[in-house]
Amino acid sequence: MIKEFSIELISRIGEAPLCNGQADTTFQIFGFRFLLCYRCTFAALGLLLTVAVLNRLDWQKHLSQKSGLILALLLMSLLVIDGIAHYFFGQETTNLIRILSGMFAGMGSGLFVDALFYKTK
C-alpha cells in the first residue's frame, strides 16, 4: 500500500501538487506545475515571513502570551472555517481564498509557536 501510494505521488510531480492532487490549485510555469498548492505554498511563506520578521516588530514585543495565542488562533481560524465550509457544505474554494487562508495560517503558526514557547509574560 505504501509502495503504491509513493509511486502515485512521484508520478504526479509536475502535473499536479503533491498535497491535494488538484492541478487547478497551483502555479504553472512553462507547463510544469508547482509541487504544492496555493494554500500550502503560502502557509510555508507565511510561516517563514513571520519567523524572519517577528522579533523586528515593536508591537509584537509587547504582546502577552495570552494575547499572542489569541491572535495566532484568530489568524488560523480562516483555514478552519474554509475547511468546514468545503467539507460539510460542499462550498468550492477559490484560489484567492486558498492564498489568504494559507498565508494567515502560516503567520498564525509562527505566532503560536512564539507565544507558546518564547513568551514569559
50 and 102 in a single domain? The answer is yes
Cell of 95: 484560489
Number of domains in the chain: 2
68 and 86 in a single domain? The answer is yes
26 and 51 in a single domain? The answer is no
Distance CA 50, CA 45 (A): 8
17 and 63 in a single domain? The answer is no
67 and 95 in a single domain? The answer is yes
Q: What pTM, to 2 d.p., does this model score?
A: 0.78
Contact yes or no for 18/36 (Cβ under 8 A): yes
pLDDT of residue 63: 80
Q: pLDDT tens-digit profile of 70-103?
A: 999 999 999 999 989 988 998 888 999 999 999 9
74 and 64 in a single domain? The answer is yes
Q: What average pLDDT does this structure show over 60-74? A: 86
Domain span holding position 22: 1-35
Least confident of 53-62, 71-80, 100-109: 53-62
2 and 55 in a single domain? The answer is no
44 and 30 in a single domain? The answer is no
- DSSP, res 35: S
20 and 58 in a single domain? The answer is no
Q: pLDDT tens-digit profile of 7-50?
A: 776 777 777 777 777 777 788 888 788 888 889 899 999 999 98
